[in-house]
Structure 1
């Protein structure tokens, strides 16, 4: 496997996915120099409105026995047995979302978790959770496949509503996370008063950084290769995927940074004081590492860094080993009291 403290020496991309940064340089990325004066007021108002939503959480169907074993086929490490249900709930703006509820196959849950996804969406529940004894809600956030796709959210998703802070889709996605906590507690009432954690990767990690500072119900958070960190830096870096789409929009209209300033994961991280574990990559063609490390560097509370040799490179021969190594680190983090 690639050394965990160094990126692969060669990479088949038309640009340098390390962006000329070694670990020392990444640890020194300071985050955005400026932020909106009413950043906090904007997010507190959005959170207040999301908490007022009647989520009307419903169980739609139970997955058949054997779903977890089938999903884990080929994985060397097993997982605690869970039952899974397809669920739905309402989020801010009356948007109806789909998702998955998992509960321990035996015994009562001792904690809750909201687990967010990447831009690929959420077609099925994650069969291997990073904590034991958990009841998890794994929502599919608005406008994304397979359970929450909607013609009301245009493609590309990352640009939907970007002309205004009031309409930008990432605000709605953060609200989806807050409403997911409410839905989880309504579906499993025994969780009220117990610890609730958050885990999110890529898109889900960036949305998590935006959502976590305002919701006192979260005890800890884990962000893997988080997106949307330090937009002023990020738009200047060539990359793939959603970041490239935002960059192209910025090149055509630099004023878009005024809206993006309200949705900067590194700016939000300065308000985040619960314990947070960040897995950040030294090389990443989709989410530039300087943006990932900006999120970690700006965290205001107890924080833990897990350095990955690369991210968003699923056909690399060491991909599964890197993911297994990360899973072990996440389990250790979430096992702490």
Structure 2
């Protein structure tokens, strides 16, 4: 695939046409307030993985509606005092996987909290969290579940789970709540941006080739899934375009980015048709914190920087978390 989106100089100036709902803040304050009416009830149970360098805990906490959400909590073996924490959100279709699968951040000296993704976990890594909330007719996948009303949309539940995951991670005595970062790839990157606008006291944010940004452009510039799920839904449900667009505006990373209060390291790939670079730059250019940077991978598709981006994060994150 060759370059298909805007030239890089235009990307650096691009602004989304996504219209922010007037009640955006009120909607999310109400949503999170309702979630917090349920006790967080974060439980950490030590599991044996056969690994000598880390200690791993099986986590359960109360997410949206008080519903149970799973996760892993991994710390360097022998950790006795609180260490900076990295909360990770996962890509589309994947779950938390097996207990021994997550080593990078704990190997770097951080506490690492991996949130399972409700209802997914069957595409590329297994998950253990159900989504007990039903929806109206939807196109196969998750992008259109409840998409005609912000109250019923799938990502209302998932973004709420993510905020509660940060709270659960911070509740563990080995996690330094004041030095907490969030990160994720693709869908996980989009969730990361949402959390950056919903949790006001994060220390750092690192969305990697993020999904769920600039819906007006994303749904028209690429025909790859998952964005194409929305087009396929509207192909069948003619005449509902404006209703769907209004719903999506409550979940657009562009609007969360405008509320961010933590330093950020983004990444994008110029041949990425799954999360087109213009949609990533839309969120990056709207990102409110002045300490922000974006790694650009010129000849990559949705794999982005891969291990090169991890290396960039490992150089960038310790300064923001004030690692001693």
Q: What CA deviation, in whole Å up to 9, does each residue of 1:147-180 have, x standing for no partner?
A: 1144645741121111110111111111111111
Alignment of 1:55-74 (within 5 A): 55-66=40-51
Alignment of 1:1-337 (within 5 A): 11=1, 18-66=3-51, 81-107=53-79, 108-119=81-92, 120-124=94-98, 125-129=101-105, 132-145=108-121, 146-150=127-131, 152=133, 155-186=140-171, 188-191=172-175, 193-251=177-235, 252=238, 253-255=240-242, 256-301=244-289, 302-309=291-298, 310-313=300-303, 322-336=305-319, 337=322
In structure 2, the gaps of 5 or more residues are 122-126
Distance 1:304 1:266 in 2: 16
In the alignment, is the contact (CA less than 8 A) between 1:114 and 1:177 conserved in 2? Answer: no
How has the CA–CA distance of structure 1 residues 137 and 156 changed in structure 2, closer, same or farther, with 3 Å as cutoff?
same
CA RMSD of aligned residues (A): 2.2
* Residue aligned with 1:159, SS: coil
* Residue aligned with 1:24, SS: helix
How has the CA–CA distance of structure 1 residues 44 and 97 changed in structure 2, closer, same or farther, with 3 Å as cutoff?
same
* Residue aligned with 1:158, SS: coil
| TM-fit CA distance, 1:131 | 7.7
Distance 2:174 2:46 in 1: 21
Distance 2:102 2:134 in 1: 25
In structure 1, the gaps of 5 or more residues are 1-10, 69-80, 314-318
Taking structure 1 as the reference length, the TM-score comes to 0.82
How has the CA–CA distance of structure 1 residues 110 and 59 changed in structure 2, closer, same or farther, with 3 Å as cutoff?
closer
Kindly report structure 1 stretches of 4+ aligned residues shifted beyond 6 Å.
Answer: none
Q: What CA deviation, in whole Å up to 9, does each residue of 1:164-211 have, x standing for no partner?
A: 10111111111111111222233x224354311101111111112112
| TM-fit CA distance, 1:259 | 0.5
How has the CA–CA distance of structure 1 residues 109 and 134 changed in structure 2, closer, same or farther, with 3 Å as cutoff?
farther
Distance 1:223 1:238 in 2: 20
| TM-fit CA distance, 1:254 | 1.0
Distance 2:134 2:297 in 1: 33
In the alignment, is the contact (CA less than 8 A) between 1:90 and 1:97 conserved in 2? Answer: yes
Distance 1:242 1:121 in 2: 16
Distance 1:192 1:128 in 2: 18
In the alignment, is the contact (CA less than 8 A) between 2:64 and 2:160 conserved in 1? Answer: yes
In the alignment, is the contact (CA less than 8 A) between 1:98 and 1:147 conserved in 2? Answer: yes
Taking structure 2 as the reference length, the TM-score comes to 0.85
